[in-house]
Every structure is written in structure tokens, then in C-alpha cells.
A and B are shown apart, each in its own frame.
Chain A
Amino acid sequence: MAQKYKIGTAAIFETEAQVLKAAHKVRTMGFTKFDAITPYPVHGMEEAVGIKRSWIPYVTFVMGVVGCSSGWLLTWWTSAVNWPLNIGGKPFHSLPAFIPIMFELTILFAALSSVATLLYVCGLPRVNPPIIHPDLTSHKFGIFIPQDDTGYDAAKVEELFRSLGASEIKKAEF
């Protein structure tokens, strides 16, 4: 799929504390479309960047319910409706015996749909995305402000990043 990337200014920071401070500062400056790029989930970054709690659990819950009901529908329809067979004199719709199937399908649906949703919201899979700096997945931290963000001015942004202690500032596509 064709992906659109934005042009903007990126800064590279050497430590976690710096990038947290920088993200917080950039946010208070009024930028809203910026992104922090970190090699691992940084504690406190959600608050600094202003990210709301992930809504994926709602998907998980709904799909779990769907999985459970499909397990019930499948077992009930096949065993009691479509071809009822008398097995050991048990009722055609022997719910206790169907619980394991319902349970496993609950887990299966919930887990796979959570993962599918994760991939969807993160825009994955993505072929050859632009990478600001190869060390951003290893030991450096980055902040990227796209040029369409409110109040974006290349010179001012550069000045801001420099005052925050960025070790490297560059024009980038992200």
C-alpha cells in the first residue's frame, strides 16, 4: 500500500531523561502532530506526548464475546440442530461439555483480533519506511515535528531542539 510520509525536522537525543523533557516541552509549545521515537517503551512518555490510553481493550472484549458466542453457536447448531446424535444419553445441547470449546474460541478470537488491531493502528506492515536515524531502535531517542504542525517554523524548531540539548538536528521525512 502506498504510504504518505511527512517532511519535518527531527532531533536526536542521547538519553531517556532528555527526550522526556523535550517531548514535554514540545507539547507545551503547542505542537500536536509531533512524534517521539524510542528504542523501548519509555516510562512516562504517554503523558509527555499527550497520548490517550489505548482503546484496543474494547476490541479485545467485544471479540472475546463474539468468540464465546460463536463457540456456543457452533457446538449447539452442529450437535443439537443440524445432526443431533445421541451420545451416551447426554442431552443434545450439553452445555457443560461445550464450555472448553467456547473458552478456547474466546481466547483465540480476542488474541488474534487484538493483534490485528495493533497492526492496523500502527500502520503495519509497512514496506521500507523512512528511518530518521538507525540508532533510534538501539540507544538513541528522537523527536520529529512535521512541517504541517501548528506554528511550525523550521528555524524556531531548530532553535528549540538545540536549547533542549539535541545532539543532532536534521530535516527528515517520517
Chain B
Amino acid sequence: MMKRNPLVLGHKNLKDITEDIVAPVESFPSKGWLGLFLSAKTLLIFYIITLGIVVGTGIGLLGVNHPNAWGTMIVTFVFWIGIGHAGTLISAILFLFRQKWRTSVARTAEAMTVFAVMTAGLFPLLHTGRPWLDFWLFPYPNQRGPLWVNFRSPLLWDVFAVSTYATVSMVFWYIGMIPDFATIRDRAKNKIRYMVYGALSMGWRGRARDWSHYEMVYLLLAGLSTPLVLSVHTIVSFDFAVSNLPGWHTTIFPPYFVAGAIFSGFGMVVTLMTLVRIGFPEFKNYITLDHMEVMNKIIMATGLMVGYAYGSEFFVAWYSGNLYERAVFVNRAFGDYGWSYWCMISCNVIIPQLFWFKSVRRSIPIMFIISIFVNIGMWFERFVITVTSLHHDFLPSNWGNYAWSPYDTAILVGSFGMFLTLFLLYLRLFPAISIAEIKPVINVGYETEEGGHH
């Protein structure tokens, strides 16, 4: 029989686990964290100012123009919402498949989901150009008739999909944390911590009856989140696929987008986890090299799926015999934006091939670099899909390039400030690994005399 590697290294007992995981919450931040936080916060302030200028002056400050009505806002929206998908995949889908290794990374991956969706959610709202009227997106009784929203529009489906996704993933994340908040509450030495975590824990006490219902609801939420996460990026892809534009109007989009989302999300999980391992060395016993290796395998597998989709798109464009379809794809690879296409191909298809080698999959510096490339590549993928299809459609009189402006760069870079600020705060304020979930799996891979239930 194959011997399983331990999921938690260092022969931890229950008390060690509590202490290790709660340590960042109970101790004073290190200089490294403080440095990162101050930089992220500065970037966030820069982002807020940029958004203030863009909203105050108008969306014309960005590079959007006549043929390219969708630009950085939409590209970056899809980028961030895609990143969120890995978190739900780890927390829900791998839970349903009983993958025990998910336990140590699930909490942080879910946090990443929540923050990525929050970051993403701003873009479509701002992209409307008049964000103060965004409540028009929701069907509410009004005095204009009442004039209702158009339920046949994919953009409206997106409103429902993204807001449901944000709500459900936040609730899922929070429910998972309730027992851990109770742990922190019961350990609290000072009054403020006791009150804050007492409120967050809602007075959880861990009775057997509570656990029975709790586990059931956790399973239900995992079961509900699984189709939800697949539906969200499917619906995001409908924003494109339901139109008649060559390059967008393809049936491959939903699976292609979902695979890409998981690919980019795992890229971001690996980026963040390597940093968490450096920042909190004790977590190396929980987020082991085995965990990182498995995630790298998923990156490679989804990278191959994305690569297949790129190939298939070209094949179908040629096979369809449609002139416009062919022209768009030739233009995509060899036209004005050919550089972005090849940037995408090298980052998403070629570079992850390095993960075929076990030594690469288990090397922290190399996987960090590759994961950054994956992030870059996936941003370019959305840029390629959005801009190259729009800028060169049917009639030459309707062709034109995107007018990239410094404001495009500023909101793209600034959005990382928002995401990282939230993430760094999370690492300090919430237990970054699920305490209650990791305790039942500490015996995996160890020979136990008693009490082991596997």
C-alpha cells in the first residue's frame, strides 16, 4: 500500500496546533508584515485617489474609445473574479471529493476569493461611468413605469451571479471561522480581544449537537458553492459569448473561462502561500511542500486545458470557413496586439510546462516566479479576448486601437493595493488556517496507537 505523507509535519498535538495558528492573531506584527502593509495601504490610497479622479472626471480618462468600449475595467474585473475561483474550488469542490490536503490551504484560499471578488466587484460598477446610479442594475419597483431590467441580457445575469457568489462565498468563509473565533475568545487574555472575538464567534461552544448540524451545513454550502462557482465564470463568459462579435461568439467560452479561472486562481494561491510561508515560518508545518506540489500540479493541468482552448479556438476559426472569424484570429496572433497574444501563450502555456519536473514543483522560489507569470499571463488572456476582438471586427471603417492611458495602469496597479491590504489584515486578524478542521487530520500519515480514526 502507498504510504501517505503526513498532512501536518512536526508531530503536533492539539494544543500546539491551536497555539501555532493563533500566534499571528495574538502577537504583535513583525517588521516585515508592517512594511508590506504600509506599502499595500499606500497603494490602496493611491487607488482610491485614482478612482476618485476617474469617477469625478469621467470614464473617458481611460483608454476606452469607439470600437473598444470595453477596456481595462472589464479586463481587470474578469481577472480578479477568475482569481476568486480557486478559493471556492479548494474549499468546496475538494471538500466534496474528500481531499484532506485542502484543509490547511482552504481558509486562506477562501479569504483570497472573498477579497478578489470584492476587488473585482468594483470594476463593473465603475465601468458604468455613473456609479451613483448603479442601483438601476437591480430590479426594484420604481417610478419610471415601473421599468424593469432586461432579464435576457448576460450583463444582468452577471449582476445576479457575482452578487450571489460574493454573498455565498463570504457566508461560507465566515461559517468556517466561527469555531475558530470561539477558540481565540476562550484564550483571550484581554477584554477587547475577548469582546471582539466573542462577538465574531456568536457564542459558539462546540456542543456535539451543534457540530452535527454545523458539519451538515458545511457540506450543504460546499454542495451549493460547487455549481455556483462553475456558473459564475460561465456567466462571465456569456458576457462575451452571447454577443455576435467574431472572437467572442464561441461555445467553448464557458469551460475555457472556468479552466482559466481555476488556473489563474491557483497561480494566485501559490503566490500568496509562498509569501505566507516566509512570513509565518511556523505555518510551514501546515502548508507543506506536498501541498504546494499538489497545487502546482493543478496549475499545470488547468494550464494545459487553457492551452487546448487556445488551439481549439484557432482550429474552429479556420474550420468554420467564416472569413471574419479567421481574420480576427490571424489578427489576434499577428496584428497590432500580437505581442499580447504571445505574452499570454508564453506565460500560460509554455512556462507552466516546467512543472513536469518534480524538482521544479517542489522549489519555492521557482514556483513563486512561475505563479507570477501565470498571473501576468491570465491578465493578458482577458486583454487579448476583450481588446483584440473589439478593435478589428467586421468593417475596416470600424477598426481602431485601444488608447491605453496612465489611468488604465493606475487602476490596474491600484487594485492590487486594495486586494493586498485586505489580505494582509486578514492574516493578522483571522486564524489563517482552519483550527477546527485541521485537528481531525493530524494523524494522517502517522502510525497511531490510539485515537486515530483512519
Chain A interface residues toward B at CB < 8 A: 15-17, 23, 35-46, 49, 51, 53-54, 56-57, 60, 74-75, 78-79, 82-83, 85, 87-88, 90, 94, 97-98, 100-101, 103-105, 107-108, 110-112, 114-115, 117-119, 121-129, 131, 134-139, 174
Cα of A118 to Cα of B18 in the assembled complex, Å: 25
Q: A111-B171, A138-B15 are in contact. Are A41 and B186 (CB under 8 A)?
A: no
What would 20 A/B residue contacts be, using CB atoms closer than 8 Å?
A: A15-B451, A35-B207, A38-B206, A39-B14, A39-B206, A41-B214, A41-B440, A43-B440, A43-B453, A87-B150, A103-B227, A104-B161, A104-B231, A110-B220, A111-B221, A124-B178, A125-B199, A136-B186, A138-B15, A138-B18
B209 to chain A, nearest CB (A): 6
Is the CB of B146 closer than 8 A to any CB of chain A?
A: yes
Q: Would A87 and B152 count as touching, CB distance under 8 A?
A: yes
Question: Which size bracket describes the interface of B in this complex?
Answer: 35 or more
Chain B residues in 8 Å Cβ range of A35: 207-209
Chain B residues in 8 Å Cβ range of A78: 139, 148-149, 151
The residue on A at minimum CB distance from B194 is A128
Chain A residues in 8 Å Cβ range of B182: 137
Chain B residues in 8 Å Cβ range of A104: 157, 160-161, 164, 228, 231
Q: Would A56 and B220 count as touching, CB distance under 8 A?
A: yes
Q: Would A137 and B179 count as touching, CB distance under 8 A?
A: yes
Cα of A137 to Cα of B210 in the assembled complex, Å: 13
A144 to chain B, nearest CB (A): 8
Q: Would A79 and B148 count as touching, CB distance under 8 A?
A: yes
Chain B residues in 8 Å Cβ range of A127: 203
- Which B401-454 residues sit within 8 Å CB-CB of chain A? 435-437, 439-440, 450-451, 453
Q: Would A126 and B202 count as touching, CB distance under 8 A?
A: yes
Those 7 A-B pairs whose CB atoms lie nearest each other, nearest first: A126-B203, A139-B14, A54-B216, A125-B202, A78-B148, A100-B157, A134-B186
Q: Would A138 and B14 count as touching, CB distance under 8 A?
A: yes
Cα of A110 to Cα of B154 in the assembled complex, Å: 23
B155 to chain A, nearest CB (A): 11
Q: A83-B148, A87-B150 are in contact. Are A125 and B212 (CB under 8 A)?
A: no
Known: A79-B151, A101-B160, A104-B164. 16 other contacts (CB 8 A): A17-B451, A39-B179, A39-B439, A43-B440, A53-B216, A54-B212, A82-B148, A83-B148, A90-B152, A100-B154, A101-B151, A107-B227, A110-B220, A111-B221, A115-B175, A124-B202
Cα of A40 to Cα of B450 in the assembled complex, Å: 18
Q: Would A94 and B152 count as touching, CB distance under 8 A?
A: yes
- Which B165-219 residues sit within 8 Å CB-CB of chain A? 167-168, 171-172, 175, 178-179, 182-183, 185-187, 198-199, 202-217
The residue on A at minimum CB distance from B148 is A78
Is the CB of B354 closer than 8 A to any CB of chain A?
A: no
